Copies of this chain bind each other. A is one copy, B any other.
Amino acid sequence: MDKICRVNMSDLTVTFGDVPSAWAGLGGRGLTSTIVSAEVPPDCHPLGVNNKLVFAPGLLTGTAAASSGRLSAGAKSPLTGTIKESNAGGTAARMMARLELKALILEGLPKEKAWYSIHINKNGATIHEEHEVEGLGNFALIDVVEARFGKRVGILSIGQAGEMRMSLANISVKDPDSKIRSLGRGGLGAVLGSKRIKFISIDDEGTPLVKLADPEKFKEASKRFSKTLQDHPVTGQGLPTYGTAVLVNIINEAGGLPTRNFTYGQFDGHEKISGETIHDTIVARGGKPKHGCHPGCVIQCSQIYNDADGKYLTSGFEYETIWGIGAGCCIDDLDDVATADSVMDDIGVDSIETAVMFGVAMEAGILPFGDGKGMIRMMREEIGKGTPLGRVLGGGTANVGRIYGMTRVPVVKGQGIPAYDPRSIKGIGVTYATSPMGADHTSGYSITTNILNVGGHADPLKKEGQVALSRNLQIATAAVDSTGMCIFIAFPGLDIPDCLAALVDMINARFGIELTMDDVTNLGKTILKMERQFNIAAGFGKEHDRLPEFFSLEPISPHNVVWDFTGEELDAFWDF
C-alpha cells in the first residue's frame, strides 16, 4: 500500500500517511509539482520555513520496465524563484518504489543549527543528528554512509555547496557503482541544506517486488517497449556507443554549439572533446564506454572515464558538462573537463549552471578563457570552501553577471541556458523561454526534430513550426517525467509508434487501469498549466517567458542569425 512520508524538520517528527486519492495516479514530476502547488505558498522564500522539498519515484519505477528508474525532486527553486522539478537516475528511486514510498516530503526548518540525516527502511523513517559529516564532499560522504549501512544503501546527499545554500547546489544520488548522478538544476541542494539535512539513506532490504496488477500484460508490453529502445538508432547505437557527447560534433556542425560564453556557434577544439574522442580515450585507458545510471537502464549512455594512468577519474560524464566546460569556457583538454566533472560531483554543484556561470565569469575577467586548471582550482578552493569569490561563483550565472555588470548573461528565469544556441536552433529557444523550469533543454528537447530528424524535421534556422514543436514536446515530456522514464525514450517515442503505446500498456498493467494516449497527453497539459499557475502567483508571467536581450542584438556565427521571436509569438505557446 503506497504511502506518503512527511519529515517535519521544525519539530523533528516523521509521519506516514495514505495517498490522497487525487494523487494516486501521479508519480515523478506530476506528483512533485502537484504537491508543491498544493502546499507551498508561491511567494514564500525558497530557503525559508514554508518551502517543501518533495522526492517521488515515477509511476513505473521499481518495475522491470527498461530505463524507468528516475527520481524526481520538486520545490520552489532558490535559483529561479519558480516551481522546479529535477530528475536523475541512481538507485534511490527504485528503493523508494519498493518501500511503497510514493513521495517523501521534507517540511519546515530546524530550530537548532545542527546537521541531520534521515534513514528510511521497511520499518519507517528516522531522523538522526549528525556530528561528523559537516564539510564532507559527496564521495567521502558516500564512504561514511556505506560504512554505516552497507554497500547497497541508497543515498541522496549534498556536498559543501548545498551546506552553504548556494544556488549552484544540486542533490547527489548514488548510482549502482557508488558514484554520483545528480538532481542537478535549480539549486535544490540549497533547499536540502536550508533544512539542515546532509543526507538521506535508503535501505530496501526485505521489501517485496513492486506489485503488478497484470504481470503477463506488463511483461509483454515491457518487451515491446525495450525493443523500440534497441531498434532506434539513437538509443540503440549512438548513445550506447558514444554517450551523450555524440552530440558535440553534430551540434558544432549545425553551428549551435555555444562557444566562449555564447559568442560563437562553433568551437575550434570540438574534435578534442567529441563523443568519438571520448570513446577512443575510454577504451584506450581501460574504462567502460557503456554504463547505466540506474538499475534496469538499457540505453547505457553513461561511462567510466579513467585518467592517463588508467585510474578511475569520473563517470556520468555528459554532453552538457563537456560542452559547457569545454566549448563554453574554451577548454579543450579532455582530462581537465573530466576532472572538473568529478570535482563538481564532489562539492555538489549543477554542472550546467556551473559551466555557464564560468563562461560569464571568464568574460568578466575572473579567470582566462581556456584555463581548465584555474577553473578546477576555483571549484575546489573557492566554491568548495565558500570564500567570497566562491560565494560569487556559487550564486550562479545570473548572479555573476549581475555583480560584474555584464550584459551577455545567458539565463532565462535566472537559470543558465544549456548546450544549444537558441539563435541557430530556434525550437530549443522556445523551450528555454517558455518552460516553467527556466532555461531547460530537457523539458522540451527540440534537438530531436531540429537537428536529428527524429519525429520529422523543422528547420532550426527558421521560426516556422517551432512553437508547436516545443509545445508538443513539453506536454509529452511532462507526462514522461511522471513515469520515471529517462528522457531519451523520446527518440523511439517520436519515431516508432509502438514505443508510447507500450509505455501506456505498462502503466495500465502496473495499476490495473485503462489509460489512453489522450489521457497521457492530458496529464502533460495539466502538469504544465499547474506549474505555470504556480509561477504566475510567484511573479513570473509572460514577460518572463523571454530570452535575454543579447540574443536579439548579437548575431551568432556561422549562420549570423539572431533570436527573432516576438513576445506574441512566444505567448502563443500557452494556447492549449
Out of B41, B49, B395, B549, name the residue touching A403 (CB < 8 Å). B395
Answer whether residue A404 sits at the interface, using C-beta atoms and an 8 A cutoff: yes
Contacts of A406 in B (CB 8 A): 47
Interface contact B399-A543, CB-CB below 8 Å: no
How far is A42 from B167 in the complex, measured between Cα atoms in Å? 27
Interface core residue of A389, A406, A407, A544 (most chain B CB under 10 Å): A407
Q: Does A66 contact B (CB under 8 A)?
A: no
Cβ of A269 within 8 Å of any chain B Cβ, yes or no, is: no
A45 touches B548 (CB 8 A): yes
- Across the two chains, which residue of chain B brings its CB closest to A546? B43
CB of A166 within 8 Å of the partner chain: yes
How big is the A interface, by class?
A: 35 or more
* A395 in contact with B402 given A48-B550, A549-B45 (CB within 8 Å): yes
Judge whether A391 is part of the interface by a CB distance below 8 angstroms: yes
Give Cα distance in the complex from A543 to B544, angstroms. Answer: 13
Query: Does A484 lie at the interface of the complex (its beta carbon under 8 Å from any beta carbon of B)?
Result: no
Question: What residues on B are CB-neighbors of A540 within 8 Å?
Answer: 539
Residues of A355-400 contacting chain B, CB below 8 A: 366, 387-389, 391-392, 394-395, 399
Partner of A399, one of B399, B407, B553: B399
A78 sits at the interface (CB 8 A): yes
* B543 x A402 contact (CB < 8 A): no
Q: Are A544 and B549 in contact, with the CB atoms below 8 A? A: no
Tell whether A212 is near chain B: CB-to-CB under 8 Å. no
- How far is A49 from B554 in the complex, measured between Cα atoms in Å? 12
Indicate which residue in B47, B167, B389 contacts A407 across the interface (CB closer than 8 Å): B47
Number of copies: 2
The closest CB in chain B to the CB of A398 belongs to B402
What's the Cα separation between A344 and B454 when bound, in Å?
A: 59
A310 on the interface (CB 8 Å rule)?
no
Q: Is the CB of A543 within 8 A of B537?
A: yes
Q: List, in ascending order, chain B residues with CB within 8 A of A543's CB.
A: 42-43, 536-539
Look across to chain B and name the residue whose beta carbon is closest to the beta carbon of A190.
B405
Binary interface encoding of chain A residues 404-432 relative to chain B, with 1 for a CB under 8 A from any of its CBs, else 0: 11110100000000000000000000000
A44 within 8 A of B: yes
Quick check: A44 and B549 within 8 Å, CB to CB?
A: yes
Beta-carbon contacts under 8 Å, A515-546 to B: 536-541, 543-544, 546
Task: Tell me whether A553 and B49 are in contact (CB under 8 A).
Answer: yes
CA distance A180 to B572 in the complex (A): 51
Complex contact A404–B388 (CB within 8 A) = no
Interchain CB contact (< 8 A) of A78 among B167, B394, B405: B405
Measured CB to CB, the closest approach of chain B to A403, in angstroms, equals 4
Q: Hey, what's the 0/1 contact readout for A174-208 against B, CB within 8 Å counting as 1?
A: 00000000000000001001100000000000000
Q: Which residues of chain B are within 8 angstroms of A550 by Cβ–Cβ distance?
A: 45, 48
Minimal Cβ-Cβ distance residue in B for A42: B543
> CB of A263 within 8 A of chain B?
no
A167 CB contacts on chain B under 8 angstroms: 402-403
Q: Nearest chain B CB to A235's CB is how many angstroms away?
A: 39
Whether, in the assembled complex, A50 has its beta carbon less than 8 Å from a beta carbon of chain B, the answer is yes
Q: In this assembly, does A164 line the interface, its C-beta being within 8 Å of a C-beta of chain B?
A: yes
* A193 contacts B402, C-beta separation under 8 Å: no
Cβ-defined contact, A407 with B78, below 8 A: no
Tell me if B405 and A549 are in contact (CB < 8 A): no
Does A98 reach chain B (CB closer than 8 Å)?
no
Shortest Cβ distance from residue A486 to the other chain B in the assembled complex, whole angstroms: 32
Flag if B50 contacts A549 (CB, 8 Å): yes
A29 within 8 A of B: no
Taking A194-B405, A541-B541 as known contacts, 15 extra A-B pairs with beta carbons closer than 8 A to each other, sorted by chain A number, are A47-B406, A48-B407, A48-B549, A48-B550, A165-B404, A166-B405, A388-B392, A392-B403, A394-B403, A395-B399, A399-B403, A536-B543, A539-B540, A539-B541, A539-B544
Interface positions of A (Cβ within 8 A of B): 41-45, 47-50, 78, 164-167, 190, 193-194, 366, 387-389, 391-392, 394-395, 399, 402-407, 409, 536-541, 543-544, 546, 548-550, 553
